[in-house]
């Protein structure tokens, strides 16, 4: 697992036609909503037969980061603003999309290296780094006036 | 998810049950700061019952470590499972914290 796995421009046409939507939920912007959603997605990981580590660690941590960013940054913690969470599964991968009502951000410009000596004692700045370290692909794009972060992990 | 604090000799031992994430990190921070304010100096956080930690949970540990050091105290960690060890290694926080394999070894190290 190395930081900065594939990222950047997304390609919707590349989606596997056998992909099915396993979960599609709208949640209010409240951090208490994170754990139940992550638990539901973890169940799908098990069905997909991702590895134990992917189910118990990579996916929960990366999804928690994406949801946390969407709720606290994208939607600025305004409970009335919604976050859409979608999980798509195929034979080979799990794709998660987290969409908020914010303006979006530049994934590369916002990803800092928290392991640099000057950053190591910072309280924040590890979220995007962890997402990109733990997932095979991280993308950000705008879709229907929503800011979407897409996380992809392949069966290992 | 819950946190409990017990005294073992001079050491405050904190157990983290469940996840340490954005939704509960402030509760852990406040509990430890309350003990620090009461004059406690030595802290051990035991992760034997912890599932996963997110970046905000890591941030709270970094923040607590700084505050405890500023008061002349020490914060040590114990019982990280393999996934949590990976998390600390990825973020290089394994270089910032003293981490013991077991609670007993951590307690002896103070």
* Full 3-state SS string of B10-47: CEEEEEEEEEECCCCHHHHHHHHHHHHHCCCCEEEEEC
Which residues on chain B are in Cβ contact (under 8 Å) with A53? 82-83
Contact yes or no for A46/A55 (Cβ under 8 A): yes
pLDDT of residue A4: 42
pLDDT exceeds cutoff 90 at A115: yes
DSSP A101: S
Alpha helices in A17-136 (DSSP H): 34-47, 52-53, 59-69, 107-110, 127-134
Residue A81 CA to residue A89 CA, distance in Å, equals 27
Percentage of chain B modeled with pLDDT above 90: 96
Alpha helices in chain A (DSSP H): 34-47, 52-53, 59-69, 107-110, 127-134
pLDDT exceeds cutoff 80 at B62: yes
pLDDT of residue A156: 76
Whether A65 contacts chain B with CB within 8 A: yes
Nearest to A35 among B23, B56, B60 (CB): B23
Which range is least confidently modeled, A18-22, A73-77, A143-147, B39-43? A18-22
Domain range for A85: 19-154
Cα dihedral A110, A89, A101, B23 sign: negative
Mean pLDDT of B79-102: 96
Which residues on chain A are in Cβ contact (under 8 Å) with B52? 56-57, 60-61, 64
Q: Supply the CATH number for residue B50's domain.
A: 3.30.750.24
Q: Supply the CATH number for residue A106's domain.
A: 3.30.565.10
Cβ pair B21:A56 closer than 8 A = no
Question: Any long-range contacts for A111-118 (C-beta under 8 Å, 24+ apart)?
Answer: A111/A4, A113/A3, A114/B91, A114/B92, A115/B90, A115/B91, A115/B92
Contact yes or no for B13/B32 (Cβ under 8 A): no
Domain range for B26: 2-109
Domain count, chain B: 1
Residue A6 lies in a domain: no
Place of tokens 């606290």: A72
Q: What are the backbone dihedrals phi and psi of residue B56, each rounded to the nearest 5 degrees, phi first?
A: -75, -30
Contact yes or no for A55/A47 (Cβ under 8 A): no
pLDDT of residue A15: 58
Whether A21 contacts chain B with CB within 8 A: no
Whether A50 contacts chain B with CB within 8 A: no
Contact yes or no for B26/B1 (Cβ under 8 A): no
Residue A9 lies in a domain: no
Domain count, chain A: 1
> Is the predicted ipTM greater than 0.85, yes or no?
yes
User: What is the H or E stretch that residue B61 is in?
Assistant: helix B55-70
């Amino acid at each position: 697992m190395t930081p900065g796995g594939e990222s950047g421009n997304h390609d919707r046409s590349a989606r596997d036609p056998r992909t099915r939507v396993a979960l599609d939920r709208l949640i209010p912007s409240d951090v208490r909503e994170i754990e139940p959603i992550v638990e539901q997605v973890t169940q799908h990981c098990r069905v997909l037969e991702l590895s134990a580590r992917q189910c118990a660690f990579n996916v929960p941590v990366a999804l928690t980061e994406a949801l946390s960013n969407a709720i606290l940054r994208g939607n600025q913690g305004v409970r009335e603003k919604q976050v859409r969470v979608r999980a798509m599964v195929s034979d080979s991968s799990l794709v998660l999309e987290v969409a908020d009502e914010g303006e979006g951000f530049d994934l590369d410009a916002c990803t800092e290296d928290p392991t640099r000596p000057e950053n190591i004692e910072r309280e924040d700045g590890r979220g995007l780094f962890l997402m990109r370290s733990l997932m095979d692909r991280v993308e950000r794009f705008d879709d229907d006036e929503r800011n979407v972060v897409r996380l992809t992990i392949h069966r290992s | 998810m819950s946190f409990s604090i017990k005294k073992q000799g001079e050491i405050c031992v904190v157990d983290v049950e469940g996840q340490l994430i954005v939704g509960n990190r402030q509760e852990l921070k406040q509990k430890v700061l309350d003990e620090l304010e009461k004059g406690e100096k030595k802290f051990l956080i035991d992760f034997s019952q912890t599932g996963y930690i997110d970046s905000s949970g890591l941030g709270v540990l970094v923040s607590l470590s700084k505050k405890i050091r500023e008061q002349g105290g020490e914060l040590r960690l114990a019982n990280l499972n393999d996934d949590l060890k990976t998390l600390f290694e990825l973020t290089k926080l394994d270089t910032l914290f003293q981490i013991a394999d077991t609670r007993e070894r951590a307690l002896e190290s103070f």
